[in-house]
């Protein structure tokens, strides 16, 4: 079983704060790294799929970076809003099997 | 509307009974997946299928069985051999199995076994 770790486990921030989370994954046999947002009572939705070392992706106030050599990815949220409250999951793919998910970072943004 | 449907949303069963969770997709995706989520844990892979009539065990396949007779359907049976079946079950699909394709998730089924 591959080890994908996310930190912190949970985070409480104030509206307007910027925040970031970490996803650590094995640095060997890398194929892709996914980020998903999972809001309460909804299905997880993909934010980013990254495949190249040094990749940076951005969607509105959310961005992600990827370092495959050292096995980590950062997700950044600039100016957090209450609607950003969700669990953020990362998932690591080797290309030989299905994705392995981390346990997620639960973000609460207080108005 | 394209998407993945899971039914029912909530399911209650007595211990010792098998139960089948439904998952249907109309996205024309080749690959489909079943995950289980327990409190404080991430999504753990139970089974996945890359193509009709083919499927592979994931990390926690014991006590579960699947079939893939049609491209759009991937039902999961939780058997009486599964020691801790109470959990939230998510189905997903992707165009292909390879990791560069994002996965699309259904709304989930919460199974309670007493």
Task: Give A14-48 pLDDT, tens digit per residue.
Answer: 999 999 999 999 988 899 999 999 999 899 999 99
Residue B41 is predicted with a pLDDT of 82
**CA–CA distance from A8 to each of A23, A24, B4, B80, B100 (Å)?**
9, 11, 31, 36, 26
- Token readout for A46 is 């993909």
The candidate with the shortest Cα–Cα distance to A40, out of B12, B33, B107, is B107
What residue has token string 């996965």?
B103
A43 touches B: beta carbon within 8 Å: yes
Which residues in chain A have Cβ-Cβ distances shorter than 8 Å to B42? 4, 6, 89, 101-104
Partner residues linked to B19 by β-bridges: B78
Q: With beta carbons under 8 A apart, name residues in chain A contacting B33.
A: 98
Both tokens assigned to A19: 């925040």
- Chain A residues whose CB is inside 8 A of the B44 CB are 101
Mean pLDDT of chain A: 94
Q: What residue of A is the nearest CA neighbor of B49?
A: A98
Determine the pLDDT at residue A49: 95
Using the predicted structure, report yes or no on whether residue A61 has a pLDDT greater than 70: yes
pLDDT at B63: 95
Assess B59–A contact: CB distance below 8 Å, yes or no: yes
Q: Three-state SS for A26?
A: coil
Q: Average pLDDT of A75-90?
A: 97
To test the contact with chain B by mutation, choose from A9, A38, A44 the residue with the greatest count of B C-beta atoms within 10 A, namely A44
Q: Is A93 on the interface with B (CB under 8 A)?
A: yes
């Amino acid at each position: 079983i591959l080890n994908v770790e996310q930190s912190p486990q949970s985070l409480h921030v104030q509206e307007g704060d910027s925040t970031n989370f970490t996803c650590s994954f094995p640095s060997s046999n890398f194929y892709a790294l996914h980020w998903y947002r999972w809001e309460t009572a909804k299905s997880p939705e993909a934010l980013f799929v990254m495949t190249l070392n040094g990749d940076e992706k951005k969607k509105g106030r959310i961005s992600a970076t990827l370092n495959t050599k050292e096995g980590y990815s950062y997700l950044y949220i600039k100016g957090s809003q209450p609607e950003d409250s969700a669990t953020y999951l990362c998932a690591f793919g080797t290309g030989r099997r299905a994705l392995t998910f981390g346990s997620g970072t639960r973000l609460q943004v207080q108005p | 509307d394209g998407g993945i449907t899971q039914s029912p949303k909530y399911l209650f069963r007595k211990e010792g009974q098998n139960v089948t969770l439904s998952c249907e997709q109309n996205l024309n995706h080749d690959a489909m997946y079943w995950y289980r989520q327990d409190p404080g844990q991430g999504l753990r892979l139970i089974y996945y299928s890359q193509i009709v009539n083919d499927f592979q065990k994931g990390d926690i396949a014991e006590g579960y069985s699947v079939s893939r007779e049609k491209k759009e359907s991937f039902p999961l049976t939780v058997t009486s051999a599964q020691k801790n079946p109470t959990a939230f079950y998510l189905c997903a699909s992707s165009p292909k199995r390879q990791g560069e394709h994002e996965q699309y998730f259904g709304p989930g089924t919460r199974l309670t076994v007493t």
